[in-house]
Amino acid sequence: MTKFDEATQAIRVDDTTYDVCLDDGYSIGGPLNGGYLVATVLRAVVDASPHAHPVSTSAQFLRAPRPGPARVIVERLKSGRTVTTARASLVQDGQPFIEALVTTATLDAAAVPDWSGGPPVTMPGRDACVRLPMPKPESNMTLSAQMEMLFDPPTIGWLSGEPTGRPEARAYFRMAEPQDPDPYVLALAVDALPPVVFSAGARGWAPTVELTWHLRALPAPGWLTLLGSGRLISDGWFDEDVEVWDSAGRLVAQSRQIARVGRG
């Protein structure tokens, strides 16, 4: 079991209740990373389902939970031959922190696409990409140590005062501890990029309000490629779309989140 597997572990208490322990190694400066929290919720939902994979997940982020013990409450809504639907809540001190709707199904690892679009942009090779500087310990950005990310340089130009002027972020991604990507790693990956709005010149805490992601195929071992973009920044809101491609060149996950533009 990797550190990530352990940090997202959900221990069955009864048919609808799972104990989890939220790990302070996934902090993004205080709050825990939303993708990490969703991965933890999905461990419980998949355990409670007759199907193997979280194909579609929508999550509302109500509050930022503290590291430490929490529970996932899973309510099965309908179960059929092809899909099972469930509602799940991440609860701490009796209050919901994340509310999710999850459809599970069993994907075929050998499926060959009937049709696939290509990546929307071409990434430079990994040797032409760059790491972000290690965050200062006092920033409490502990998440950075869990992942290895190599960024397409212009998309982190905002770090040196040169944002591209468009909402975008692109990087190669893998876990720092050797681990083949799986659906839970993908749940982390779809929320692992810096907010795309940074590249359009915004700064500050950009809280996710809602994130939906779909697992489209089981990822091959190796690096993942994260392609993040946005369509509109308006009225304090922005969207962030992330496509995740695996080392075999397949689209394995699609996400869209709607978030608030940070102030100050």
Query: Which positions touch a second copy (CB under 8 A)?
Result: 55-56, 58, 60, 62-63, 77-78, 82-83, 85, 87, 96, 99-101, 103, 107-108, 111-117, 165-167, 200, 202, 209-210, 212, 214, 216-217, 230-237, 239, 243, 251, 254, 256, 258, 260-261
- Shortest Cβ 99–a second copy spacing (Å): 6
Indicate the residue among 188 and 253 with the shorter CB distance to a second copy: 253
Cα(166)–Cα(164) distance, rounded to whole angstroms?
Answer: 5
Query: Helix/strand/coil (H, E, C) string of 38-58?
Result: HHHHHHHHHHCCCCCEEEEEE
Distance CA 169, CA 33 (A): 17
Name which of 103, 112, 148, 111 is nearest 130 in CA terms: 148
Quote the Cα angle for 62-238-261, to 5°: 70
- The minimum distance between CB 116 and a second copy, in angstroms, equals 5
CB of 167 to a second copy, least distance (A): 7
Query: Which residues contact residue 235 at a Cβ distance below 8 angstroms, ignoring those fewer than 6 apart?
Result: none
Q: Under DSSP, is residue 222 helix (H, G, I), strand (E, B) or coil?
A: coil
Q: Which two tokens stand for residue 157?
A: 């130009």
- What gap in Å lies between CA 264 and CA 246, rounded to an integer? 36
Minimum distance of a second copy from residue 138's CB (angstroms): 29
Least distance to a second copy from the beta carbon of 19, Å? 22
